[in-house]
Amino acid sequence: MKAVCWQGTNKVEVETVPDPKIINPRDAIVKITSTAICGSDLHLYNGYNPAMKPGDILGHEFMGEIVELGSAFKNGNIHNKGKDLAIGDRVVVPFTISCGSCFFCNRDLWSLCDNSNPNAWMAEKMMGHSPSGLFGYSHLTGGYAGGQAEYARVPFADVGLFKIPDGLADEQVLFFTDIFPTGYMAAENCDIQPGDTVAIWGCGPVGQFAIRSAFMLGAGRVIAIDRVPERLQMAKDGGAEILNYEEIEVGEALKEMTGGMGPDSVMDAVGMEAHGMGLEGFYDKAMQAVRLETDRPNVLRQAIVACRKGGTVSVPGVYTGFVDKIPMGAFMNKGLTMKTGQTHVHRYLERLLERVQNGDIDPSFVITHRLPLEQAPHGYEIFKDKKDNCIKIVLKPGQAA
């Protein structure tokens, strides 16, 4: 089959690799009909994850059709909703891999599954404990082959695969795999009360879904912060007030817009590769270059300082290691709460499907580019460099180049 393989910093290639095979009884093989490039894939593309190996198959946002099921499905030796799965079913695949029966899965904390990361020891050395396995996201989270390919093996398929009802196009449901529930959970983590003001740094795909989710959860105002014109325009189209951080001092602007109080909640939808301005930006890049910090937390610092007293800091942006100069004095003395984590995708699938079916949102709004799988290297380039007004790319396996 054809698959998008990581070959080093700023280099991906579409290669012919062996087709996936059933390994465990609860596995499924999915023929992929749509897949996408995620902003967090750029962290791998840019070389910031040391647990990547040349040839690793990328991608964790994918969906398709079941073409093979493991023996547990045939023997009835399964649990949960998997009893209903059959060859030919159309499914989306959550990017988090979850067993469905451990301490954390039983508490609806799917991205913390204790049984799906075979390389948990690696994560434990950095983080103390391991998150769940993730598709296509380095050997730190299991080394699983990703979904920017023609086929994928899905472990614990009875728990993970989510059947899509008839009448919905791929582009309406593809982002159930990650960015829609990620934006929604990030907004939910803001503990939004009716009429609240939410400030969101980062108007990439996750930020766009967070904006719309915040309004769905009752926010009165959403203030979106970025510097890329097309992203700011998409945020404005979603109802947000916008700030370009290259043109205005964001902290002062937020005070002015909120009568001096600050936003009720703030969100870092940027993560480890934030672009800082002036001396602070230079400091973070220098520290990262010499490995004295792994991540650039410029946005997280701004968000903590900007948030009103007693407010909430929501962090869907990905961080992988260590950061410097976090204003813990502001965080503690203002009595802030921080909520973060990889998304518990399984928790949100039913309610987001209902939102789409009710017409509350059409997730395809975020797509700017549709490319054949073979053009993935070009897609990564324009997505990273923000060329051609690129915000979100969907890749189509089997489509002619």
What φ, ψ does residue 260 adopt, rounded to 5°? 85, -10
CA distances from 258 to 110, 128, 251, 263, 306 (A): 36, 39, 11, 7, 11
Question: Strand pairing partners for 11?
Answer: 8
The stretches in the chain having pLDDT less than 70 are 75-83
Helix axes 179-188, 345-357, angle to 10 degrees: 100
Same domain, 229 and 159: no
CA distances from 183 to 30, 78, 133, 295 (A): 26, 32, 20, 21
Q: How many CA atoms, within 13 angstroms, populate the side-chain half-sphere of residue 188?
A: 14
Same domain, 150 and 117: yes
Q: Final residue of a domain: which of 340, 364, 381? A: 340
Q: Say what the pTM is.
A: 0.95
Radius of gyration of the chain (CA): 20
pLDDT for 76 equals 63
| DSSP output for 279-315 | HHHHHHHHHHHTTS-SSB-HHHHHHHHHSPTT-EEEE
Let me know if residue 234 belongs to a domain. Answer: yes
- Residue pLDDT, tens place only, 196-222: 999 999 999 999 999 999 999 999 999
Reading the block at residue 120, the tokens are 């948990």
Let me know if residue 232 belongs to a domain. Answer: yes
Same domain, 169 and 208: no
Same domain, 195 and 309: yes
Name the domain count of the chain: 2
Q: Final residue of a domain: which of 340, 369, 385? A: 340
Let me know if residue 245 belongs to a domain. Answer: yes
Q: 134 CB contacts (<8 Å, ≥6 apart)?
A: 60, 95, 96, 97, 141, 142, 144, 342
Question: Strand pairing partners for 268?
Answer: 201
Let me know if residue 107 belongs to a domain. Answer: yes
Number of residues assigned to the chain: 401
Let me know if residue 401 belongs to a domain. Answer: no
Let me know if residue 236 belongs to a domain. Answer: yes
- CB–CB of 226/245 below 8 Å? yes
Same domain, 131 and 204: no
- CB–CB of 186/195 below 8 Å? no
Same domain, 201 and 286: yes
Same domain, 303 and 247: yes
Residue that the structure tokens 């993730």 belong to: 134
- Residue pLDDT, tens place only, 93-148: 999 999 999 999 999 999 999 999 999 999 999 899 999 999 999 999 999 999 99
pLDDT for 379 equals 98
* DSSP structural state of residue 185: H
Let me know if residue 336 belongs to a domain. Answer: yes
Task: For residue 159, give the nearest of 236, 103, 99, 90 by alpha carbon.
Answer: 99
DSSP H/E element including 227: none
Same domain, 29 and 173: yes
Strands 61-69 and 90-93: antiparallel
Q: How far apart are CA 271 and CA 276, in angstroms?
A: 12
Same domain, 163 and 229: no
- CB–CB of 9/46 below 8 Å? yes
pLDDT for 79 equals 54
Let me know if residue 80 belongs to a domain. Answer: yes
pLDDT for 81 equals 52
Same domain, 216 and 285: yes
Task: For residue 310, give the nearest of 289, 337, 276 by alpha carbon.
Answer: 337
CA distances from 96 to 37, 62, 153, 293, 353 (A): 16, 12, 13, 27, 18
What CATH number is attached to the domain comprising 32? 3.90.180.10
Range of the domain at 73: 2-178+343-396
Q: Final residue of a domain: which of 340, 370, 387? A: 340
- Residue pLDDT, tens place only, 157-185: 999 999 999 999 999 999 999 999 999 99
pLDDT for 375 equals 98
DSSP H/E element including 332: helix 328-333
What CATH number is attached to the domain comprising 298? 3.40.50.720
Same domain, 62 and 165: yes
Strands 312-315 and 337-340: parallel
Same domain, 16 and 163: yes
pLDDT for 284 equals 83
Q: How far apart are CA 299 and CA 387, in angstroms?
A: 23
Q: Is 349 helix (H, G, I), strand (E, B) or coil?
A: helix
